[in-house]
């Protein structure tokens, strides 16, 4: 008799849990489902990237059991289409203080972390002093002024 009552309680509990889980899933807005974006090494960069542009970026947080991270990211600017990130790993005593930059195209069917390479790198191993990101005339422009006073510009089209 006790086994039958225990089994009935377990079945009832499982039914309640499955109903609660199905309600939560169906309440998610269609078209803005959770999507994971990773960098080239497979580290988590963006957890929820959807068309409503209310994205959550996890620059230095990785899921349990993942490989040891190799790069820490800082959000430079989150624009309507692109998100710009910068590395923050260079120690203050390192000879090369030049950070790496990346962008994520949030409207891409498979968003990914893309490396930014300046055509004519003027950093001369110095740190970034001033960074701006602007959108105008169908273009998104990343402008970096280095500690040595020189500048670099990276431009993306906004079709």
User: Rounded CA gap, 136 and 155, in Å?
Assistant: 11
CA 102, CA 109: separation in Å to the nearest integer? 18
Question: Cα 105–36–16 angle (5° rounding)?
Answer: 140
How confident is residue 98, by pLDDT bands cut at 50, 70 and 90? confident
- pLDDT tens for 12-57 read 544 444 433 333 332 333 444 444 556 555 555 555 554 554 444 4
pLDDT class for 77, splitting at 50, 70, 90?
Answer: confident
**146 vs 112: CA distance, rounded Å:** 27
Closest C-alpha among 77, 122, 128, 126 to residue 103? 77
Structure tokens at 139: 């273009």
Q: What are the boundaries of each domain within the chain?
A: 1-28, 31-157
86 and 100 Cβ atoms separated by less than 8 Å = yes
Number of C-beta neighbours around residue 86 at 10 A: 20
| Mean pLDDT across 87-101 | 71
Q: What is the pLDDT of residue 13?
A: 43
What is the per-residue pLDDT for 145? 92
Secondary structure of 129-154 as H, E, C letters: EEEEEEEECCEEEEEEEECCCCEEEE
Residues 108-157: tens digit of each pLDDT: 776 667 888 888 888 888 888 899 999 899 899 999 999 999 999 999 98
pTM: 0.56
């Amino acid at each position: 008799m006790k086994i039958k009552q225990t089994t009935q309680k377990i079945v009832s509990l499982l039914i309640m849990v499955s109903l609660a889980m199905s309600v939560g899933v169906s309440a998610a807005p269609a078209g803005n489902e959770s999507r994971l974006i990773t960098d080239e090494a497979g580290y988590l960069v963006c957890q929820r990237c959807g068309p409503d542009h209310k994205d959550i970026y996890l620059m230095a947080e990785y899921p349990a059991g993942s490989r040891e991270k190799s790069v820490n990211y800082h959000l430079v600017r989150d624009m309507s289409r692109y998100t710009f990130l910068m590395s923050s790993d260079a120690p203050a005593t390192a000879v090369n203080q030049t950070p790496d930059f990346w962008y994520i195209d949030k409207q891409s069917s498979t968003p990914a972390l893309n490396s930014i390479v300046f055509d004519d790198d003027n950093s001369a191993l110095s740190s970034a002093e001033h960074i701006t990101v602007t959108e105008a005339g169908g273009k998104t422009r990343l402008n970096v002024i280095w500690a040595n006073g020189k500048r670099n510009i990276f431009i993306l089209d906004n079709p």
